[in-house]
C-alpha cells in the first residue's frame, strides 16, 4: 500500500472515531439504532474513499503500462482496444456514496465496441 494512502485512511479513521465520540456526547439518549446509523454514515464515506483509491490504483486503470499479453481486449470480437482518452464515471457504492473515477476508455477498432475497464 502506498504510504500516502495509508496515512490518509488512518487520518480519516481517526476523524470518524473523534466524530463519533463527539456525536455521542451530543446525543446521550440515542438508541442503538441511531448510534448505528450515525456510525454507518461516517464509515460509508471512508469506504467510498478507499474504494475509489484502490480502483484507481488498479493496473486496469492505466492501459499504457500494460504489455501485449495484458492489453484490454474487446469482449465481443477479441481485438485489442485502442485508448480513446480519459472519461469520468460516477458510481454509487453499496453505502449510497457517490465515487468518481477518471479512467482510460477504449474503443475496438474492429467492431466499434467501447469499454470502460473493470477493476
Number of domain units in the chain: 1
Domain that holds residue 36: 3-115
C-beta separation of 115 from 77 below 8 A:
no
Per-residue pLDDT of the chain (119 residues; tens, 9 = 90+): 566 889 999 999 999 999 999 999 999 999 999 999 999 999 999 999 999 998 888 665 566 565 555 567 788 888 888 888 888 889 999 888 999 988 788 888 999 888 776 54
Q: Which residues of 9-39 are buried (b: 16+ CB within 10 A; e: fewer)?
A: eeeeeeebeeeeeebeeeeeeeeeeeeeebe
| Helix, strand, or coil (residue 89) | strand
Q: Which cell is 64 given?
A: 499504457
Amino acid at each position: 500500500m502506498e504510504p500516502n494512502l495509508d496515512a490518509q485512511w488512518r487520518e480519516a479513521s481517526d476523524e470518524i472515531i473523534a466524530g463519533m465520540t463527539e456525536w455521542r456526547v451530543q446525543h446521550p439518549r440515542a438508541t442503538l439504532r441511531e448510534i448505528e446509523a450515525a456510525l454507518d454514515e461516517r464509515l460509508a464515506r471512508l469506504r467510498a474513499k478507499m474504494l475509489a483509491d484502490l480502483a484507481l490504483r488498479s493496473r486496469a486503470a492505466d492501459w499504457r503500462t500494460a504489455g501485449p499479453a495484458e492489453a484490454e481486449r474487446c469482449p465481443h470480437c477479441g481485438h485489442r482496444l485502442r485508448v480513446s482518452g480519459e472519461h469520468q464515471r460516477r458510481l454509487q457504492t453499496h453505502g449510497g456514496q457517490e465515487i468518481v473515477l477518471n479512467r482510460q476508455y477504449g474503443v475496438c477498432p474492429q467492431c466499434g465496441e467501447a469499454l470502460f475497464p473493470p477493476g
